[in-house]
Amino acid sequence: MVTDMRLSDEERTRYLAPTHHIDCDSEAIAAYVAPLVAGLSSDKEKAMALFNAVRDDVLYDPYYYDLSPDGMRASSVLKKGRGYCVAKALVYTAAVRAAGVPARLGFADVKNHLSTRRLRELMGTDLFVYHGYSEVFLNGRWIKVTPTFNASLCEKFGVHPLEFDGETDCLFHPFDTEGRKHMEYVLDRGPYDDIPVDEIINASLAAYPNLFKTLESLGGKELGDFAREAVSENK
């Protein structure tokens, strides 16, 4: 049973404040958020509107993996218009904070049963370590929110796009529209005030040595076109 809680003044300040990565005070984030929440009065309405926008405006791209200090800023990801799960969670968390709603990041290890063949080969596994999501404080409790997969990509994979009702956790569906396994949560690493960059880098290097060797060999070139692979494999 989940009971309502109250944030202390210190906690509320902390979960509304900008950080290097969650730059909710940037002009880019402010300009993006303002028209989306105009006329909305409740935190719930704002969080829902921003979820729909970030989910589809920032395209999911696991091949765009930039953990540099500038690459992992919400405003930078928003400008590029694409990123992997952590990058998208960054944008959503920053947007929600900019709208005056307390938010933080969360991380979990998940098994993705519907990744593309090439991505699985590069990773050497279907386990995604430090999958990023957001937590939003609404109606006296923290709610988990996953803005990862844009609706157009979900259509290509035959997966229902996630919908956020502002009241219950918005987590990956365990099965796709055909009843095949989609996502399995293996380990919940819990909430973080900001991105644990070193933890993510170390865990990723250990989990995906071949992926990083390939990235290095490409010398900055694109790893591939994930959306096109999804279409090719799911005809």
Q: What is the pLDDT of residues 13-61, one digit of tens each?
A: 999 999 999 999 999 999 999 999 999 999 999 999 999 999 999 999 9
**DSSP string for residues in 103-138:** EEEEEEEEEETT--HHHHHHHTSSEEEEEEEEEEEE
Separation CA 17–CA 99 (nearest Å): 11
Confidence of residue 66 (pLDDT cuts 50, 70, 90): confident
Q: What is the CATH number of the domain that holds 201?
A: 3.10.620.30
> Which residues, at least 6 apart from 36, have a Cβ–Cβ distance to it below 8 Å?
49, 50, 53, 95
What pLDDT, in 10s, does the model give residues 2-12?
557 889 999 99
Work out how many domains the chain is built from and give that number.
1
- The owner of tokens 């969360």 is 106
Alpha-carbon Rg of the chain, whole angstroms?
17
* 130, HSE (Cβ side, Cα atoms, 13 Å): 22
Q: What integer pLDDT is reported at residue 194 of this predicted model?
A: 93
Amino acid at 19: T
94 versus 126: which is more confidently predicted?
94
* 81, HSE (Cβ side, Cα atoms, 13 Å): 1
Domain that holds residue 184: 9-233
Q: Residue 3: inside a domain, yes or no?
A: no
DSSP 3-state assignment of 11?
Answer: helix
Q: Which of 54, 105, 103, 52 is CA-nearest to residue 81?
A: 54
Mean pLDDT on 103-126:
90
Q: Residue 17: inside a domain, yes or no?
A: yes
Q: What integer pLDDT is reported at residue 1 of this predicted model?
A: 42
| Lowest pLDDT segment from 45-54, 99-108, 155-164 | 155-164
- pLDDT(181) > 70: no
Q: Residue 131: inside a domain, yes or no?
A: yes
Q: Residue 1: inside a domain, yes or no?
A: no
How much is the mean pLDDT over the chain? 90
- The owner of tokens 């935190």 is 43
Q: What integer pLDDT is reported at residue 235 of this predicted model?
A: 60
Q: Residue 2: inside a domain, yes or no?
A: no
141 versus 232: which is more confidently predicted?
141
Q: Which of 39, 139, 36, 148 is CA-nearest to residue 96?
A: 36
Query: Within the chain, where are the H helices?
Result: 9-14, 27-37, 43-57, 74-80, 85-98, 117-123, 151-157, 197-207, 209-218, 226-233
Contact 208, 125 (CB under 8 A): yes
- pLDDT(93) > 70: yes
Mean pLDDT on 100-123:
90
Q: What integer pLDDT is reported at residue 26 of this predicted model?
A: 98
216 versus 105: which is more confidently predicted?
105
Q: Residue 104: inside a domain, yes or no?
A: yes
Mean pLDDT on 57-68:
88
Task: State both tokens at 141.
Answer: 């409790």
> Bridge partners of 15?
none
